[in-house]
Each structure stands twice: as C-alpha cells, then as structure tokens.
Amino acid sequence: MSGVAYGLLDADEVRPLIGVLQELYAEVYAEPPYEEGPEHVAQFRRWFRQHLGQPGFRLARAVDVDGLLVGTAYGHTMSAGEWLQPQVGEPPAHVHGVPKFMIAEWMVRGPYRGRGVGRRLLSALLADRPEPYAILASNPAAPARRIYEQLGWQQAGMIRPKLIPPMDVLVLPLPANPIQ
C-alpha cells in the first residue's frame, strides 16, 4: 500500500512505543467480536512488557505518511516444551517439542484493513525466523481467523483464557512463508 512505511524493531527500539501500541490495542480490540475494555488494555500493557524480555522478540510495524502507527505484529521465541496456556488437551508433539515463534498480537487499524497491510506485517515478521513453526491464538469469531486459514495456518489446539473467549491455537510451518 502506498503511503505506508514498514519496519522491523527489536525490544530496545520498541520500549519507547508502549503507549502508542497500547492505544492501537485499545482501538482494535474495542471492536466486535472482541469488545474489550480498560481491564483488557491494562492486561495487554503488562503482557507486552513481559514479551519484550523474551528471547527472539521482534515487532513489525506499519506507519502512514503522517507518522501514525496503522498496524503492527509482534512475537517472540517459545522454547521446546512450551505451549500457550491455559491449554485444552495435548498439543501436537512435533510442534510442542521444538522451538516456536509465538505471534502475540497482530493489529491493523480499521481504515487500513483489506489493503495488504496486515499481510505485509506478517510476512516481514516471519521472514528469516530460525524456528520451524510459528504459533498464535485466534478468536474463532474474528475475521482474522479466516485470514489465517487462507494463509495456510492449521488448528493445533485450543486455550481457555480467563478474560476472553476460548481461542483456537494455530500453527504455520516455517520457513515456508506463504504470506506474500
């Protein structure tokens, strides 16, 4: 999309941006089907600070010509044997037993959706990852869930978080990166 610049940032480069990322989160997740409120935004801020300290942290961002953050995707490495919590059932052994790149969030402002911004963010984020799989949790009712499926993500389990509805756990083999 013209008028949008993309970049990859490490944890040190992202720390000063926590406030603007929190604002983006609040805007995106206030929409249906999420309808998240202030307690969810506060939880995001706590989780985000924890994610910054994880190995392999990387954030892809999209900024418009006015400097507005229009979208982001970020994640970090999960060690072999780690899985999203609280899990329902056993994860697939071939994925559970190896390191994974866990995408914690993928957010794009409404006016920029359907223009390729989100796909470019995911592609940049997953490019050149050393882990054999990427993993994420998705609300089954969210439009993003269908997009993931179209991009080759496969359901590998479920989690039941406390503050939000049950989520599908999805896996994508890497470096096969079909998000072009």
Domain ranges of the chain: 4-173
Determine the angle formed by the axes of helices 38-52 and 18-29, rounding to 10 degrees.
140
Say what the pLDDT of residue 1 is: 56
Residue 113 has pLDDT above 70, yes or no: yes
Please write the tens of the pLDDT for every residue from 155-170: 999 999 887 889 999 9
Say what the pLDDT of residue 116 is: 93
Contact between residue 125 and residue 74 where contact means Cβ atoms under 8 Å apart: yes
- CATH C-level class of 4-173: alpha beta
Please report which confidence band the pLDDT of residue 121 belongs to, taking 50, 70 and 90 as the band edges. Answer: very high
Considering the chain, what is the average pLDDT of its residues? 93
pTM confidence score: 0.91
